[in-house]
Amino acid sequence: MNPSVAWETAADLVVVGGGIAGLTAARTAAARGLRVMTVSKGQSTDTATQYAQGGIAVVGPELEDSIESHVADTCVAGAGLCDEDAVRSIVAGGRAAITSLEAAGARFDLAADGAVARTREGGHSVSRIVHAGGDATGAEVQRTLDASVPTVQFDTTALRVLTTDGEVVGLLVRGPRGVGVVHCPTVLLATGGLGQLFSCSTNPPGATADGIALALDAGARIADLEFVQFHPTVLFAAGSTGRRPLISEAVRGEGARLLDVAGRPFMAGVHPLGDLAPRDVVSRAIAELLHVSGDDHVLLDARMVERVHERFPTVTASCLGAGIDPATDLIPVAPAAHYSCGGVATDTSGRTSVPGLLAAGEVARTGLHGANRLASNSLLEGLVVGDRAAYLAAERVGRSGGISDVALPTYRRIDRAVLQRTMTAEVGVVRDATGLAAAQRILAHGVVSEPPVDARAVEDAALTAAAEVIVLAASERRESRGCHTRRDVPESDPAQRRSLFVERDQGGQLTIVNDDVMTGAH
């Protein structure tokens, strides 16, 4: 064992991440008798789950809704890259997932008739979004799961997934006791997204693509990472950076309209659904409008939304904090990085191409989202796949092999401020070959740090790795599809209606692999 390792322990499953996917898996696995260790580099309030506003898309008992309708809406939004079988599998698991969450204590908003209230969001053909606290669904989910999984080890960073003969045997971590090794047959990556790649995002500070880097290092494949969804309506403030409050899509679902700075609506002629078009359509329309006009934001008119303060208390609080009353004022908004549609390639149970390595939640690419995520499908996916991942972990109990040596990783990284400026300017809502080439040149000049390194350096290295994958795939995808828009090739190309899989070769270089073999059955 490496002399830098200060302690060792063992578990049947190690969950990396404290959001909806990770805690759901931990809860289910513990209920099945597994020894579960859950680690999180931050605290429970640092997850993207905590900030989710809109709700959970799940088919209701209404006659006008059905699983097939939800599947169809998801596949339309996914712009040809959804795996329809995966979509159907995850959507079909929604009702049971919600029932389980309610049994754990989650309280969803009720309508006047006592039934669970439902609203509609962009891209959905019917009202199927359940919500809690008006626009605080994520906070209610986080509260419920935190109470169900009380033994999360916070301030603990995953450094490397340990493998022997290509199979998971443990996890190298660093926490309050120093560097340690957890012997285990299964590791679940539930680390969330990569929003900190960009100057402004809706993501918490910890959304630094950690799981992408860990999976690449372990030999797993990444897919569809070029599809970064930008939320079209994030509260705008001149010169602001970092995490910005989003103005939930559900506000437009309740009647709010987008206007240019002169007060003119502009979405009616862009898409048949107008202001409720899929997110990629709305973000692109706003980005192109700003590109032409030279303005830095548009306006959202929510003055006609009934009881807006009561229905959207989180949005209202954010607006009032900026001196804006949504009941009487127009809200300045602009697109910001929101959700990674791609990630570690998995099946619908979280299985990757590395035996014993699972991934669930935003870090994973199940085939549900395709080229663009349909609103409120993310919490659904976290619940369903997180639960299923626990059953896979149960099948591997007792399979852990020996760890012969522990090599601490080295970290190649770009300064975060430089990286964020580059990705925002060249790899944002709209891209082109010139900008992507510029980004590649900057990424080629990363510095390598030998261990030990601080937590910031680990995150910066993960962000750098994710940026390299995105730029590689975005350069290869010479078309516009979903939330990947190329100004130089604005049309979709039927010949490119396929996912791009990326992995590290034996020399450590990122490469696009030609086959698209799925990692397991749905």
- Catalytic residue numbers read 279
Is the distance from CB of 170 to CB of 150 less than 8 angstroms?
no
Query: What is the rounded CA–CA span in Å between residue 184 and residue 147?
Result: 25
Nearest Cα to 244, choosing from 234, 232, 229, 233? 234
Is the distance from CB of 443 to CB of 301 less than 8 angstroms?
no
Query: What is the rounded CA–CA span in Å between residue 41 and residue 50?
Result: 15
Query: What is the rounded CA–CA span in Å between residue 7 and residue 15?
Result: 18
CA quadruple 68, 71, 76, 82: dihedral sign: negative
CA triple 151-171-517, angle to 5 deg? 110
- Helix ranges (DSSP H) in 294-376: 308-311, 313-321
Nearest Cα to 193, choosing from 223, 166, 161, 228? 228
Query: Residue 336's beta-bridge partner residues?
Result: 231
For the record, the structure tokens of 121 come out as 């969001």
Instruction: Concatenate the DSSP letters of all residues of 25-54 into one string.
Output: HHHHHHHTT--EEEE-SS-GGGSHHHH--S
Q: Name the region of 517 (left: φ>0; alpha: ψ -120 to 50; beta: rest).
A: beta
Query: What b-and-e string marks burial along 373-383, b requiring 16 or more CB atoms within 10 Å of the CB?
Result: bbbbbbbbbbb
